[in-house]
Chains A and B, each alone.
Chain A
């Protein structure tokens, strides 16, 4: 077992796949010479050379277009979009081209590609470099969506994403980069579409993703210690495909559901889960589903304001305990 930071796990996971598949290439801004602005691709240029690890101009459409064209002609690709906010400048290629081409061509075109991108707040970068936009991708048919919360999952889900024959968007959380964790020995591959129950509980289910996972875990400890509430915590890990079984099984046991979402409230991923549970587990519920989200605002830059906006462990404790009171 090696202990790696989340940021180191990104390069470790990519290297694992590039060693396995000599045809796999990557491209993006500042990923080669600089090792990535978040230092998530350090060492890859040295090991795999400039033809497999390519720096690009600041041209997000050119980056994802190149990824798509290469993937459709037999070269699997990992493309980096530096900040997930920048998906907006190449959204045509993500939402209209990459997501839809297999369906539109009746299966003629395969797109084995991964779009990696740094997502989420906590870095005081303001409204255009801090968003959680996983829900943008979740709502587009044809995209798979992954958001790991631990270094081990970064490696395992990266492998799963690369090996998946469909386009996968992988959200790496900026505020998790320094977190450390154990990486299993040998080749590590997870399965897309599998959530993980991180903490068993009987009074309520808390479903979280990415940065919200450690916060939900902290909150669960405090709910137990301070309020005598036994919370089950589920790390979704993948939004598409969605592990609905894990959610429904947990709710059937606990009878209460809370989602903790970093995305702004409207059309956040938790709304889909609330709808799912309302449709399929309504009679299991003992009370309303509660969504704990960032308010429906652009993210502010100031530390104090950003900390108020994004759900914290304090807020989770307070909302869950109030609802179960």
Chain B
């Protein structure tokens, strides 16, 4: 690895050999997932896809300020897990958290309004794209500095364990997170304390702008570390909501049954760059092409047709989602720009910010 990094020519990552997705597993069609769950996951994936596209459009219109990190192409992971979770389970996400927030049911208008920095946003404009949170939907936060939230998810799981509430915490993170200390601290404590937590690595092959394999000691950054903590090595097709869902159900229910934590590595791919400023040109063209052919949404569409869902029903779901996204956009655009009345609120539990008498 280090010798490859030392070759200057190979630092043009776009010239590297492509890392292609595994072919779609035909056996997934036969998995025991109720058809209505599948239709619901189809809808969720469309919500995530169309909302992220809208966020991108609004950015191009200069309405989304700051930065944003889209999950375009990665919708199957958030969808498959959300469909396996109880309404009172806990989600912890990274700055790439729009999809996870919406998949748990947070309202679309306030999500877009938050990206636009409006007072009707999910966080009244105070958190922004990287911190989407909706406690009432079990979405306990998006954490923008990688690593910490795995430790925080442990705490929510510890709390559930102490309260014997049967809740499970699920922490989503990227491949890059597997190389920070907090990842390892969190896994160790989760195992030692037998916590009801599932750690889900969304391995999209790039830690920001750098191929993950060039900076990681093992080929599968999460799964290959599982053994160090006595955990099962789990790799799942992150571009197939059904494959994700089955593994999500298994690991979440394991945790709920008191059988401890799991570490899941979902292989997926960003359609775009790391953040809004990044066109993602460090990736080989044929690699992008191969992954676009495994786009989770058209492949899922085809599966549902094979399973007997009518095209008309799927079209009507798409249209309904499009209408909801338009409504969310109008809601967001109509929001007020936050004023001084919000600036100094909610530092403390008393609602204020005072540090003195």
A26 to chain B, nearest CB (A): 12
| Contact partners of B126 in chain A: CB under 8 A | 103-106
A252 within 8 Å of B (CB atoms): no
Question: Which bracket fits the contact residues of A?
Answer: 35 or more
B157 within 8 Å of A (CB atoms): yes
Q: Are A66 and B349 in contact (CB under 8 A)?
A: no
| Contact partners of B143 in chain A: CB under 8 A | 97
Q: Are A105 and B355 in contact (CB under 8 A)?
A: no
| Contact partners of A123 in chain B: CB under 8 A | none
Q: Mark A65-87, 1 if CB is under 8 A from B, else 0.
A: 11111111111010000000000
B182 within 8 Å of A (CB atoms): yes
Q: Are B355 and A72 in contact (CB under 8 A)?
A: no
Q: Which single member of B123, B147, B152, B169 contacts A105 (CB below 8 Å)? A: B123
Q: Mark B319-357, 1 if CB is under 8 A from A, else 0.
A: 000000000000000000000001001111101011111
Assuming the A-B contacts A69-B156, A97-B143, A106-B123, are A141 and B353 also in contact, with contact meaning beta carbons closer than 8 angstroms in the complex? yes
Q: Mark B212-252, 1 if CB is under 8 A from A, else 0.
A: 00000000000000000000000000000000000000000
Q: Which single member of B149, B152, B188, B349 contacts A102 (CB below 8 Å)? A: B349
Chain B CB within 10 Å, residue with most, of A107, A141, A142: A107
A92 within 8 Å of B (CB atoms): yes
Q: How many residues of B contact A (CB 8 A)?
A: 51
B162 within 8 Å of A (CB atoms): yes
Q: Which single member of A75, A96, A103, A242 contacts B346 (CB below 8 Å)? A: A103
| Chain A, residue nearest B162 (CB) | A75
Q: Mark A107-119, 1 if CB is under 8 A from B, else 0.
A: 1111000000000
Q: Are B163 and A66 in contact (CB under 8 A)?
A: no
A275 within 8 Å of B (CB atoms): no
Assuming the A-B contacts A103-B126, A107-B345, are A57 and B155 also in contact, with contact meaning beta carbons closer than 8 angstroms in the complex? no
A298 within 8 Å of B (CB atoms): no
A105 to chain B, nearest CB (A): 4
Q: Which single member of B160, B349, B356 contacts A73 (CB below 8 Å)? A: B160
| Contact partners of B351 in chain A: CB under 8 A | 107
Q: Are B133 and A70 in contact (CB under 8 A)?
A: no
Q: Which single member of A73, A74, A142 contacts B347 (CB below 8 Å)? A: A142
What 5 A-B pairs have minimum CB-CB distances, sorted nearest first?
A69-B155, A65-B151, A165-B349, A59-B185, A62-B185
Q: Tell me the B residues contacting A by CB distance below 8 Å.
A: 90, 123-124, 126-127, 131, 133-135, 140-141, 143, 145, 147-160, 162-163, 167, 169, 181-182, 185-186, 188-189, 192-193, 342, 345-349, 351, 353-357
Q: Tell me the A residues contacting B by CB distance below 8 Å.
A: 23, 25, 51, 54, 56-57, 59, 61-62, 64-75, 77, 92-93, 96-97, 101-110, 141-142, 164-166, 193, 240-245
